[in-house]
Each structure stands twice: as structure tokens, then as C-alpha cells.
Structure 1
């Protein structure tokens, strides 16, 4: 029951109507018996400054940030965590007594997806497909996991060059064309292949980034951060070539659990969160069918 003492949480974005975070986060809040509520709030880019002031003034203890506000919100905050600053994006805000601090829990969520499958990258090379905002969180996560080197495969390396200029890099990172010989060499040596592009995401499920599966290392683990559909064409192709795989569900649950832990000082029930998320995804797929 929502009362006058309930702690307020939420997610801001534009548009926000299709967000699955409320179902996932409220399931964990209910499982823990906490007096809190998590809601989705549509905030246009023009209203972001006013919205942040309002959330601070009304005592929201925290909120998630999604497209298109992850970068734009940074100058509106009092402090930004080192990892969020490194990738230039905030997805979680914590209100500590009126002081707004930005974090990026997408990094934690991505790493959770690796840990769930027992994947260790210490001293091993990785390949990332795409160089957008999601790729930056993945890149930071790979460096934290101890990857020896990272190859970023894209359509146009010149357009993607800013990712290596903006981020403090702790390991060798190269940007190459998807169909280049350098890409084939990287795939042959890769311990991990990650898709961070939207290719294959519902409703355009036929999309797939170009990968020469014949040259990819047979032992490479394949990770797609897309979670709808649960199994993209990219992951189906990987499985058909004998690779172990992971989709984006653990990343979404992991980033949400990390945020909830920051806000409410609790250890969220990840099983409840995952069950609620998968039920919401199934319902969403049925409506799109």
C-alpha cells in the first residue's frame, strides 16, 4: 500500500510508456516488504532540467535514467561516479539528503551476465559489435573484468573514433570495419563476442550484425545485450555454431538490482525481479505478435 511515508523511486525517459522497470523493481520492493514505490515518468528533453529540480524538491530518493537523458543529465547533478564519468552516461541517480549523485549500473549489469555463466576475461581478448552508448558501458565493464584487449567492429570506424578519444582506456582498443581482415583476426582470437547494436531487437527481429562464424574462435562466448526477443537471430546463429550464449535479461536485472541496493540499502530478490521481467516480456511479445 502506498502511504504518506512511502519512499518514491522511478525512471525518467522519453518515451517511457514501454518501460519494464516498474514491474521488475516493484516485484523486488514487494518481496522485501519495503514501504516504497517505483513509477515510470515521461520527461521530454526540454523539461529535463525542471524535472530534476522537481524530483529533488519532492524528495525522490532516487531514479533511473534512460534514453535520451543519460548524458544530458550529467551537468544537472552534484556529483558523478568515476565509472559513469568515464563512459559519459548516467543511468542511476541517488538523492543523498538533497545531493544528487550519478552512477552507471549498466556496467554492473553487463558484468553480472558474464558471472552468471562463469565467464572469466582476465588476460583474454574481446570483440564488441557497435560503438554507441551501450557499447561504452560494455567497454568499461570489459576493462574492469581484466580483458587484455578489445576490438570494436563497426560499419564506419571514422564515425566511431570518438569512443576511444572520450574514454580513459586501460587496455589496447582498436576500431575496425566489420568485414575487414583485422576483424577476422580479432574474431579468431576472441574469448568473448558482444553485440551492443540494436540489430535484431523487436520488432525488427530479422536483423543481425555481420559476423563470419567460420573464423570466430570455437571457444568464444557470445553475448547479446538485447533482451527482446529473448533469443535474437544473432544468438540463434551462435548456438548453431556451437557457442555458449547469454542474452540481455541478466544485464537488465543486474543494473536494476544494483540501483535498488543503492537506494534502499537492501539485497534485492533477483529471482522475483527476473520472474516479473520475463512475465512482462512475454506479455509484451504476445501483444506484438
Structure 2
């Protein structure tokens, strides 16, 4: 073997493996599906403002809130890389799959966090920026670093982070926190436990391997099913509240009532079906419909306000 070939082979064997991340890996860090829901709910907060902001201001606010949500996702993936590596649902995320260094994700998340908060503050007002900053802090520090690994109530308390975007959007448009944004916050806050616990029932083995104290693993599947049903029963009338309080139309009222009743029925099926594939199917059906339920409610609110501002209705 020549010296050159020996040297090349030696370098190849002793050189550390360098992860090569693609742009799509950085997009995955942002949790785009979660970001889409954040954008929609924040937009609902903006359009419910008594006086709509200038379109450029509204666009900048939505962009900053979206970037803040993405920053939260990146920091969450950085801290939870050890958990993600042992869960089948998350093992192929960029960090546990070895495509991205944890330090790169941390730097990416911190830069986006600062950029989003200061952009929102300069473009709108500092109340909105403070709320966005608190949202990022709550999700990353309170939920990800503390609650997620310490209590089966992690989703209940941590759900506040995911419920804040309508308040951030409303504050960006008005400089204050209004009753309408509080109602939207409450809807998302109460929606979060049955949504995530339905998935946790199906993925309890994953959470068990990762040592995450989700409710099915700590208090049992039957207790989780009962909690899901209770929260669904609370959510159904709360979802109708925007119509009852006058900032959504009867169309919204009817859609929210019917979809809320169906959500309760699905939760009842989860409570009733406790064994085998039937239990798994019931839980997944509730999980998937709960996503559609929340998107439907906020899409109607945004659509109605858009038509109103356009002078169509």
C-alpha cells in the first residue's frame, strides 16, 4: 500500500463523522405543522381587533409570531434529542438521526427567538413582544425542560404556551389583551389535553421507553380516558362561546356546536372502548378529528372577519 493511500485510509477511519444537514432539516426543526396552527390562531387574534391594523403590520406580526413558534420548536428538539432518539415517532428527527449537531439547533433557535421578539416589538408594540417572549420561555423552559419530564399534568399546564398565540396576535393589533383573545386562549387550552392524551394512549410504550410521565403511563389508561371525556365535555360549550359573546356568526355557532358534539361522542367512544385494536382506532380517530376541529373553528373566525373587512358580509 502506498503512503498516500495509507494516509487517506487512516484519515477516513479516525476523522470524526460530520453531520451534513440539508435545508429541509432546518425546516423540520421549526415544526411546520405546529407552526401552521400557531399562524392561524394568531391571525384570528389579529382579525378580531376592533380596528384592523395596516396589512403590512399584520403580515409582519404574523411572520414574527411564526418565527417565534419555529424557534420554540427548534429549542424543544435540541433539549429533547435524548428522548426523541428512543421514541419511534421522533427517532428520525434531524438531531437524533445524526443529520444535525445539537449545538447548531440551539444556535438556530436562539437567533430566531431574539429575531422574532424584537421584530414584533419594533413593528407593533412591546406588550405583544413580551407575550411572544413569554410564550417561547414557557414552552422551552417551563414545559420542555421541567414539566414534560416531571409530571403527568405536563400537557395541561404546558398547554398554556400553545394557547397564547391568539393573545399575542390581538395584542399586536391593539396594544392590549381583550376578552375575545382570552376566550380563544381558553378554547386552545382546554382542547390540548384531550388532543394529546388521545395520542398518548396509542404511544404509551414510546413514552414509557423515553421515561416521559404521560398520564397513561403514570395514572393508567382508564384514568386517562376519563380525563379525556371530561375535557371534551368542557370544550364543547366553550367552543361555542365566540358566537354567544357576539364576535362570531350563527354559522360559526352551528359549526362549533355540531363539531363539538361529535368530539364529545368520539371521546365517549375512547372511554367505552378499552381493549385491543378497537381502543387504538378510537383514540387515533379522536386525535385526528381534534386537529380538524380546532382548525375549523379558527378558519371560520378568520374567514368571517375577512369577508366582513372586504365588505362582502
Determine which structure has more spread, i.e. the larger CA radius of gyration.
2
On whether the aligned pair clears a TM of 0.5, the verdict is: no
TM-score with structure 1 setting the length = 0.32
TM-score with structure 2 setting the length = 0.31
Going by fraction, where is helix more abundant, 1 or 2? 2
